Amino acid sequence: MAEPFWPATANNVQAISAAEVNHLPIIASYARRLGLVEIVNRLVPVEMDVEPGVIALGMVLDTLSGRSPLYHLEASFEPCDRELLFGEALSPGYFSDDNVGRVLDRIYEAGTQKIFSSVSGAALQRFELSTKHVHFDTTSVNLYGDYLGGEGEDVPFKITHGYSKDRRPDLKQFVLSLLCVGTDVPIVGKLEDGNASDKTLNHRLLSEVSRHMKAHGVERDAFIYIADSAMVTEANLAQAGDGQQFITRLPATYNEHERVILSAIEADRWEEIGRIAQTPATKNRPGAAYRVHEGTVTLYGKAYRAVVVHSSAHDKRRQRRLERELGASLKESKAAAKACESKKFFCQADAEAAGTEMMAQSTAYHQLKINVEERPRYGRGRPKQNAPRTPVAIEYELKAEVIEKTEVLAKRREQAGCFVLLTNVPGEDPGGYSAEMILRTYKEQHGIEKNVGFLKDDQIVNALFLKRPERIEALGLI
């Protein structure tokens, strides 16, 4: 028997509300698994009617949905299902700018590194992340405005001008440093002075990384430190010593860089690796194929393994430099050819000697091929009719042809597609790494670079509406 139909009346109609949550419940679920709210509540004492952990979670959710200015946080949670996200039906006023500002102050006072370490420790334990490879990288974050007082001695980091990785030297900045495990999960994140040097940061971190890892139950000989070429200084290599294994990139400014690459090209005994990218190739980004050759280099009196890597996707910067060098070489050779052809000689032997001398003066990528040609010189006036025209003298000219040094250029192009990985990780022990493994481990650096790219997104942290370095550091933790 069919159920009776009851017409809608004022007494039996319930209010139905709809709220867009998109991906935020997934983030809230991860935060619950990490115990984010409980960790922040435990470490950040407040005398307020709000929980600092809930405020921190609110800022995390807002960051991962495009990030509003903090003074708009209250309005951004107005249409949300707050009970679904926070476990209770909080009022939007819970996230007022006054509450958020005070919590940021308390977070800074409690210690951002202590909080970050506790959260990352929870991530290591609850998600069973690998700590075998530890990646380090930095980036600069631009700030718009004067930030008066941001360079004082009592601030946590100096907001000032420095080397801008975004090519905006006109803007003040701070530097964000990240230490990641499991390819891209941060275990240390810190805001540094805007003029901090990557080389200096590497040196300081090398002295602290063992302590950071030991705090997570990982001894110094149980992980490999991976960083970019800024690590390669005499002080940093000495700091690593024999106990800290590392993989980094040898800067092209070292003479050993060119020597070991030329040695690999001359030997021509490459090990083909193929594509190693995890992302699928596209028409515009076909993906690079790699091959490797192992050698050794000596830096500051100590020998290291050097893995020469050739990539089919040649380094664009080096290719542009090579094209500039090629253009300069061609221009110089054409000028020499023009000057050569403007000369006249009255003796064939002198012309041939001059041609030989000019051919010996080749440029890096071009040389001159010179032929001597006779040019009869006739006297003035019209010759007699039907009479042979007799030259009064024979002159000799040089005809120059500019020829590209194809073998030299091909070798130079191959050299431009190479880079060198420097490491002290053994290759022969049972737990050692082959040249291919060294390359694959270093390319995991792409994970931390994705983190850096995400954090530099204008919608995430690049547009900071804060003036105090203390609150910027607290927001940097978020």
Which pLDDT tens digit goes with each residue over 251-288?
Answer: 989 999 999 999 999 898 999 998 887 666 666 666 78
Residues paired with 295 in a beta bridge: 306
Centre a 10 Å sphere on the Cβ of residue 103 and count the other Cβ atoms it contains.
25
Residue 425 in this model has a pLDDT that exceeds 80: yes
Report residue 14's pLDDT band, with 50, 70 and 90 as the boundaries. Answer: low
User: Among 156-160, 453-457, 461-465, whose mean pLDDT is lowest?
Assistant: 461-465
Portion of the chain with pLDDT greater than 90, in percent: 18
Report residue 57's pLDDT band, with 50, 70 and 90 as the boundaries. Answer: very high
Task: Let me know whether 472 and 335 are in one domain.
Answer: no
Q: What integer pLDDT is reported at residue 278 of this predicted model?
A: 65
**382: in domain:** no
User: Strand order of the sheet with strand 245-249?
Assistant: 185-192, 172-181, 133-143, 224-226, 245-249, 418-423, 302-311, 290-299, 271-274
Task: Let me know whether 53 and 141 are in one domain.
Answer: no
Q: What integer pLDDT is reported at residue 462 of this predicted model?
A: 43
163/453 Cα distance (integer angstroms):
17
Residue 5 in this model has a pLDDT that exceeds 70: no
Residues in the chain: 478
**324: in domain:** yes
Stated pTM of the model: 0.71
First to last CA, the chain: 59
Task: Let me know whether 73 and 220 are in one domain.
Answer: no
Q: What integer pLDDT is reported at residue 222 of this predicted model?
A: 75
Portion of the chain with pLDDT greater than 70, in percent: 85
The three-state (H, E, C) secondary structure of 439-465, written as one string: HHHHHCHHHHHHHHHHHCCHHHHHCCC
Per residue in 216-251, pLDDT tens?
A: 677 766 788 888 888 898 988 888 876 788 999 999
Work out the mean pLDDT of the chain and round it to a whole number. 81
Report residue 184's pLDDT band, with 50, 70 and 90 as the boundaries. Answer: confident
Q: What integer pLDDT is reported at residue 100 of this predicted model?
A: 87
Question: Do 295 and 270 contact (CB within 8 A), yes or no?
Answer: no
Task: Let me know whether 240 and 309 are in one domain.
Answer: yes
Task: Let me know whether 39 and 163 are in one domain.
Answer: no
78/101 Cα distance (integer angstroms):
19
Taken in order 237, 240, 242, 246, the sign of the CA dihedral is: negative
Burial 279-309 (b: 16+ CB within 10 A, else e): eeeeeeeeebebbbbbbebebeeeebbbbbb
Q: Name the pairing type of β-strands 245-249 and 418-423.
A: antiparallel
Task: Let me know whether 103 and 141 are in one domain.
Answer: no
Taken in order 461, 118, 100, 74, the sign of the CA dihedral is: positive
Task: Let me know whether 147 and 228 are in one domain.
Answer: yes
Task: Let me know whether 326 and 213 are in one domain.
Answer: no
Task: Let me know whether 218 and 252 are in one domain.
Answer: yes
Query: What residues make up the domain containing 32?
Result: 24-110
Residue 125 in this model has a pLDDT that exceeds 50: yes
**16: in domain:** no
Q: Which of 79, 110, 141 is the last residue of a domain?
A: 110
Task: Let me know whether 407 and 434 are in one domain.
Answer: no
282/423 Cα distance (integer angstroms):
32
Report residue 3's pLDDT band, with 50, 70 and 90 as the boundaries. Answer: low
Q: What is the CATH number of the domain that holds 219?
A: 3.90.350.10
Q: Which of 67, 91, 110 is the last residue of a domain?
A: 110
Number of domains forming the structure of the chain: 3
Task: Let me know whether 365 and 404 are in one domain.
Answer: yes
